[in-house]
Amino acid sequence: MTALAIVIAALGGASIAEAHSTTYRTTSSFAFGAVPEAALGFINDGVGNQDCRKGRIVKLYRVRSGRDLLLGRDRSGTPVGNGDGHWTVHANLGNARYYARIKQKNIGTGAHRHICRAYRTSTLRYHP
């Protein structure tokens, strides 16, 4: 009975030791495209992890007094879904300042938390 308790304790300790958290840095380029009324960019994680680039939710905001205005969203690497990290948000852009936010994403499984960090781009002015 004591041996069984030791084995159970050892197995429980092993699974706790195996669980871990890892974070990956996220960055993104941000520009206004040649296509009128579009903001675009490319997500990078600094280590070439395709899972951190594909399927990330990107939201475009217009800076204004009070709460900034959400203009649109995209999911990076879609509709192709090839994980290339590219995103494009088509919106009615006027002479204003804009930025994009990229949501955090967990690419781990089970107790393994592999977090691709959230990111906010620099603010750019659009001149139509």
Q: Specify which residues 62 forms β-bridges with.
A: 69, 98
Number of domains in the chain: 1
* Parent domain of 30: 21-126
What pLDDT score was predicted for residue 128? Answer: 78
Specify if 91 maps to a domain: yes
Instruction: Look at 92 and 18; give whichever has higher pLDDT.
Output: 92
Specify if 62 maps to a domain.
yes
Kindly report the CATH number assigned to the domain that includes residue 75: 2.60.40.10
Own/partner pairs for 7-13, CB < 8 Å, 24+ apart?
A: none
pLDDT the model gives residue 51: 83
In the predicted structure, residue 35 carries a pLDDT above the cut 90: no
Model confidence pLDDT, tens digit, residues 45-57: 877 778 888 889 9
